Amino acid sequence: MNVKGMKFVITGSGAGIGAGTAQRAASYGASVVVSDINDENGQEVVESIKTEGGTAYYQHCDVTDEKQVHELMNQAQQKMGGIDVLHNNAGIHESMVSEELSLDTMSLETFNKVMDINVTGSWLCAKHALPHLRKSKYSSIINAGSTSSVAGYPNCVAYGTSKGA
């Protein structure tokens, strides 16, 4: 697929796979909105893309906050003139919020936090991107997956469940 001229919104793109996807898409001529809760990291990704001659913008967004998600999609529309691709990459593993990782010791709070970001966040982003995506000839929604959704891993109950949802 040729992404030149396409407009991407990538959540959780301040580091890791999201940052790499943003940089790669921009290197092939796509415009990218980098979105993250870590503003410093997100801005660094945008600057790295611009340094390489790409087009990128930063928009802070907590994917569990519907108002912020709505604003993310509206800002993407304003800055890029549309959205062709939504990459739901924002996500967390239970080890990022708790030391109690096994099924019998994990708190409901930890489980719900992982589900809120990984599942509800993806749903909210898709919901608010959809009106913009419908205007695109080549629209796509990419939800980050994991082998954790099909294979059981120790201390990966919430994450695996969220990726299989």
28, 58, 138, 159: the catalytic one is: 159
Q: What is the pTM of this model?
A: 0.95
111 backbone dihedrals φ, ψ, rounded to 5°? -60, -50
In a domain, 102, yes or no: no
- Please report how the helices 121-133 and 66-80 are oriented relative to each other, as an axis angle in degrees rounded to 10: 30
CATH of the domain at 40: 3.40.50.720
Residue numbers of the domain that contains 38: 7-91+118-146
pLDDT tens figures, 47-66 = 999 999 999 999 999 999 99
153 is catalytic: no
Instruction: Provide the residue-wise pLDDT of the chain in tens; the chain has 165 residues.
Output: 799 999 999 999 999 999 999 999 999 999 999 999 999 999 999 999 999 999 999 999 999 999 999 999 999 999 999 999 999 999 999 999 999 998 999 999 999 999 999 999 999 999 999 999 999 999 999 999 887 877 878 888 999 989 988
- Please report how the helices 157-164 and 108-115 are oriented relative to each other, as an axis angle in degrees rounded to 10: 30
In a domain, 85, yes or no: yes
List, as own/partner pairs, every contact residues 75-78 make where C-beta atoms lie below 8 angstroms and the sequence separation is at least 24, other chains included.
75/33, 76/7, 76/9, 76/33, 76/132, 77/132
Give the whole-angstrom CA distance, residue 36 versus residue 40. Answer: 9
Q: For tokens 């469940």, name the residue.
A: 161
In a domain, 105, yes or no: no
